[in-house]
Every structure is written in structure tokens, then in C-alpha cells.
Amino acid sequence: MALQDVCQWRAPDTQGASPHLPQAGGWAVPQGWDPQTFLQTHGPRLAHGTTTLAFRFRHGVIAAADTRSSCGNYVECPASRKVIPVHQHLLGTTSGTSADCITWYRVLRRELRLRALREGQLPSVAGAAKLLSGMMSRYRGLDLCVATALCGWDRSGPALFYVYSDGTLLQGDIFSVGSGSPYAYGVLDRGYRYDMSTQEAYALARRAVAHATHRDAYSGGSVDLFHVRESGWEYVSRHDAWVLYSQLQKLSEPEKEGEEEATSGRTGPGGEPSEGRALGHPRMPAETEML
């Protein structure tokens, strides 16, 4: 110990984060600059447009997202993957800066794998969420932007956690993240029940994302749907968002025609895009009567 103290040598910490990750606050900025100011004036303009959602129910956890990656005014990628698998029983929906999301998920994957090797079993979803939020909170104030919902199945059944890069960690039954989330929340809150069947859950998730892509400029492309069951995660489907939305409009039309018989003359043609808005007005009074 005496010799160690004299030489100021410290044993490498094999249990902590890798020493090769940059230390918190260790950004390579020009000399004399405060990292935060530098990034705010000269840093990259980050885009956060997306709609992702996740909810847990009796038969597992559903994760759904759109596929549009936008950068300012143009669509960088119309078919990106926003739901990332971590291990067989854990998925993460990503929102915020995609580079940050993907990097931190790789780090999380590494941490979970190491712990699985050491302990003989993977940490619970709560543990994974805690680890992720702990790792990211060390970079608070440095413009990390990761808003993610961890969806998994562990010993306690279906589990869902929301993690934000400032260190927020929330447990819940429904989360929607991104610029399209208000629209998705509206649909989700209307149709969510813990005891839904799997098909009902799929329909609800698709409907929520489709509605969000319809109104939010930064969401669009396709609708990805994932399901985490007891046996692991499953990529259920990818549907084009616009096609999906039109189908949903068509589905709702015949029901409303039948119930609007009392107020005749208001039934319009099928859900063609240009007439969607026009149909909205005559239909609204009828809807409020029904509801």
C-alpha cells in the first residue's frame, strides 16, 4: 500500500465502466472554450422528429414506431429502424438523436451481457433501465438527447420503463415519445385496456402511429410493430403509414354510415386523401352525438 501511495498507482476498476469511454465532461473542444457554450453555438443541429410508442398489457409489451428520419427540412431516411433489440427479451424504442441512441444502446448491450456472464442471468428490465439512466446522467448538460422506452419481459412479467438522457427514469403502462406523441397518446388513451387481446393491441398500436404520422410533419414513412412475449421479441409487421391511415379511414366509414341514417345527406364518398378534411366537418356533429 505504501509503495502504491508513493507511486499514486490505482488498480484498474474491472467492475466499472470502461476507462476508454470519454470521461464525463471530456469533450474535445478548442482550448479555452466551455464545452456547453461551444456546442450551443457551433454544434450540430439535432433533429428530434419521430413517433414511437410502447405499452404493456397482459400478453406482453408492444413497441411501435414510424420510420422517418428527418434532418431539418428534409427526410434523411424514410425507412429507418427506431426500435432496437437489446437482447432476446428486451427492446428499446429510440427518439432524439439517433447517433446517441444507437451508441448508448450498444453500451447497454455490453453492460447487460457482462452482467449476464458474471451473474448467470440477465438483469431485470428495471435493472437495465437503471443502468442506462445512470450511465447517461453522468453526461447531463452536454446535449445528449436520448428519449427511449425499454420494453421487455423478465421474471416479473411484461415490463416497461421510460428513460431520458437527463436521468429521468419512469415506470408505466403506456409511453409515447417524440414529436408525434401527443397525437399517439390521444388514440392510445382512448383504446388501451390491460386485458386486450394481442390482435387488439396490434390494431391499437398501428392506429396510434398512423394518426400521428398523419398530423406530425416529422413522422411518416412506415409503421413498425414489435411484440415482446414471454418467449422473446418478435417483429410483427411494417406497413406503409399512408396506406394504413387510409385503410383505417375506410374501416370507420361504413359504421358511421349506418349510424348516420337519421341525419341523411351527410354521408360522403370513401376516404380519399383530398377529401379527408372536407369529410371531417360534416361528420363532426354526428360524432359528437355518438360520443
Closer to another protein by Cβ: residue 123 or 186: 123
Is residue 134 close enough to count as binding another protein by CB under 8 A?
A: yes
Is residue 115 close enough to count as binding another protein by CB under 8 A?
A: yes
The residue among 153, 21, 20, 15 whose CA lies nearest residue 86 is 153
Could you tell me which residues are beta bridge partners of residue 280?
none
Contact between 108 and 127 under an 8 Å Cβ cutoff? The reply is: no
Distance CA 33, CA 101 (A): 26
Closer to another protein by Cβ: residue 127 or 282: 127
Shortest gap between Cβ of 130 and another protein (angstroms)? 5
Q: Is residue 198 annotated as part of the catalytic site, yes or no?
A: no
Query: In the structure grid, which three cell numbers stand for residue 247, read together?
Result: 385503410
Closer to another protein by Cβ: residue 83 or 135: 135
Is residue 167 close enough to count as binding another protein by CB under 8 A?
A: no
Residues 11-50 that bind another protein (CB under 8 A): 11
Shortest gap between Cβ of 156 and another protein (angstroms)? 10
CA–chain centroid gap for 233, Å, is 15
Query: At which residue does the C-alpha cell 385503410 appear?
Result: 247
Distance CA 127, CA 108 (A): 11
Q: Using CB under 8 A, which of 10, 155, 265, 291 touches another protein? A: 155
Closer to another protein by Cβ: residue 152 or 221: 152
Listed ranges 60-68, 115-123, 213-221, 244-252: which one lies at the site for another protein (CB under 8 A): 115-123
Other C-beta atoms lying within 10 Å of the C-beta of residue 10: 7
Plot region of 202 (φ>0 → left; ψ -120 to 50 → alpha; else → beta): alpha
Q: Using CB under 8 A, which of 24, 39, 131, 203 touches another protein? A: 131
Q: Using CB under 8 A, which of 12, 13, 119, 291 touches another protein? A: 119
Q: How deeply is 46 buried, as exposed, middle or buried, from its count of CB atoms within 10 A (0-12, 13-18, 19+)? A: middle
Q: Using CB under 8 A, which of 35, 78, 127, 232 touches another protein? A: 127
Query: At which residue does the C-alpha cell 419512469 appear?
Result: 170
Determine the residue type at 131.
L
Q: Using CB under 8 A, which of 1, 117, 262, 291 touches another protein? A: 1
Binding site for another protein (CB under 8 A): 1-4, 11, 115, 119, 123-124, 126-127, 129-131, 134, 155
Give the residue numbers marked as catalytic: 50
